[in-house]
Structure 1
Amino acid sequence: MRILIVDDDESIGLYLQTVLAPFARCDGASSGEDGLLLFRQAHDHGRPYDVVMMDILMPGMDGHEAAETMRALEADMGIASRDAFKLVMITSLVDDANVTRAFFKAHATCYLVKPFDKESVLDELRQNLVL
């Protein structure tokens, strides 16, 4: 399993990589633009990510825009929805507009609310069949 973690807070990215390392190979990006670059490279090399964990609030391209662009790229490549990556949104935002956009526009699998701990991350990912 391959996981891409996109978060502008380096400590969150490193924490998630440490928590998820026993389950998957994890790569990190600190911006939506960098996340898209890694996402494209993974597809170009025939090794796409199984899971993308995406922070919503980031400077430049935010997580919504990056995730929606990734979904559009998969559609352009002819990847069926059943074979698409699982999207986990990461944020401190739990308002209706952000939750709705994450689930209905980017087709998020689940939503992790900061702050979180190892047990809550693993429970949420297992409960939603990400791990």
Structure 2
Amino acid sequence: MRILIAEDDYVNRRFLFKFFSQYGDCDMVVNGEEAVQAFMFSVEEKDPYDVVCLDIMMPKLDGLKALKMINSIEKEKQITYENLSKKFVITALDNAKDVQNAFELGCEVYVTKPINTDKLIEVMKKLNLDIDDEK
């Protein structure tokens, strides 16, 4: 499984990397602009990300705008439904407007910080992501 982590905070980025690297190969970027570029490159190289984790509050391009652009790339490249990446919004923002916005823009998972890893694993299983129960 290929995973893209877009998080501007170093500590959160390292935490997410440590968690997700148990389940696949992770790339990390520090803003939404880099996330969109990395995603586009992965699609062009025919090795797209299975999971994209986006923080909302990031410099240059926030996570929700990046989410919208990533979905546009998938639509433009005519990626089939079963091959779409799973989008996780992982953020400190927990107000109803941000949650609704994220789901309207196509995220499958909205996680608030601090992250409950047990719940995150449970959600990953529900999404049928290839994760090993022993980790």
- TM-score if structure 1 supplies the norm length? 0.91
Superposed CA RMSD in Å reads: 1.4
* 1:40-88, Cα deviation, whole Å (9 max, x unpaired): 1111111000000000111221000001000001100011233210000
Q: How does 1:90-101 map to 2 (within 5 A)?
A: 90-101=90-101
Residue 26 of structure 1 deviates from its aligned partner by: 0.6
Equivalent residue, structure 1, for 2:113: 114
> Counterparts of 2:15 and 2:122 in 1: how far apart (Å)?
16
Matched residues in 2 for 1:2 and 1:31: separation? 18
Q: 1:55 to 1:77 in 2, by over 3 A?
A: same
Deviations 1:86-115 (A, max 9, x none): 00001111111111111112x111111101
- Larger deviation, residues 64-73 vs 112-121: 112-121
CA–CA distance in 1 between the matches of 2:38 and 2:112?
24
CA distance in structure 2 between the partners assigned to 1:33 and 1:96 by the alignment: 25
Q: CA deviation at 1:12?
A: 1.0
Calculate percent identity across the aligned residue pairs: 28
* Cα distance in structure 1, aligned partners of 2:123 and 2:9: 21
5 Å-filtered alignment, 1:1-131, equals 1-105=1-105, 107-130=106-129, 131=131
Moved over 4 A (4+): none
Partner amino acid, structure 2, of 1:7: E
Tell me the SS of whatever aligns to 1:39: helix
Alignment partners' CA distance in 1, 2:123 and 2:21: 16
